[in-house]
Amino acid sequence: MAKSHTQYICQDCGYTNPRYLGRCPTCGNWDTMVEERIEKSSPASAASSARYNATSVPRPIQDIHSDEEKRMRLKHQEFSRVLGGGLVPGSINLIGGDPGIGKSTLLLQIALEIAEQNKVLYVSGEESERQIKMRADRLQRYQAGKVSTPPSRLLLVTETNLDAILDHAAEIKPKLLIVDSIQTSYLPQLESSAGSVSQVRECASLLREYAKRTGTSIFLIGHVNKEGNIAGPRVMEHIVVTVLYL
């Protein structure tokens, strides 16, 4: 069994220290140091190695096509514009905002639109499948002006275990994967709780690897803290391609 030790991690910037500090010396925020148990052998790295074998092959740069990436055009013109003209296959995007501002509703609208032609997997760790279905029915009535059935290519699952989420995605092979939210997702190999720095960082990293290898576009919904910033380590904002605030 791998030995473990505890250390204190700043929930805002990811700074670590073996002792508790009232104020983080890196970001300067108070009361952000949280104790977490750390395995000496990184279980997340082992899980990543087991799930994704080394299949990449170095290629000469002149053999790589530099044509503009084909984007999925969206009917929501403003949302498509902030994404640079559409959704890029294989991209991972983070969308944050205050509670109740409409993050889940907006992405459900996008999911309904893309599911008219392609498979979409919507993973919720906060709402039941019935709640999402009720919202989808309301959106369909609002958009169509009549009662219409949501597309069958939109699949819903309530799950927070990232291993199970990736297994579902590998089986379904969706064009778009929505994870609501990244703070509720967790890796069972890590002893820290969901929403901790370690969990958020490792979950986002594994989802990025999945997006790059499969060409699946991913949207992550993120909570914000009292300062209005997306909760979790700032390194997560460097893992994703796009960060959007509502």
Residue by residue, pLDDT tens for the chain (246 residues) are: 456 678 888 877 778 899 999 999 988 888 888 887 766 555 555 555 455 555 678 889 888 776 666 888 888 888 999 998 899 999 999 999 888 899 999 999 999 999 999 999 999 999 999 999 999 988 887 665 555 667 899 999 999 999 999 999 999 999 999 999 999 999 998 878 888 888 888 999 999 999 999 999 999 999 876 666 776 666 778 889 999 988
- Sorted by sequence, the CB contacts under 8 Å of residue 57 that are 6+ apart come out as none
114: left (phi over 0), alpha (psi -120 to 50) or beta: alpha
Cα radius of gyration (the chain): 19
150 and 136 in contact (C-beta within 8 Å)?
yes
pTM of the model: 0.80
Distance CA 93, CA 173 (A): 18
Q: Which residue, chain included where needed, has tokens 């700043």?
A: 10
Helix (H) or strand (E) holding 9: strand 4-10
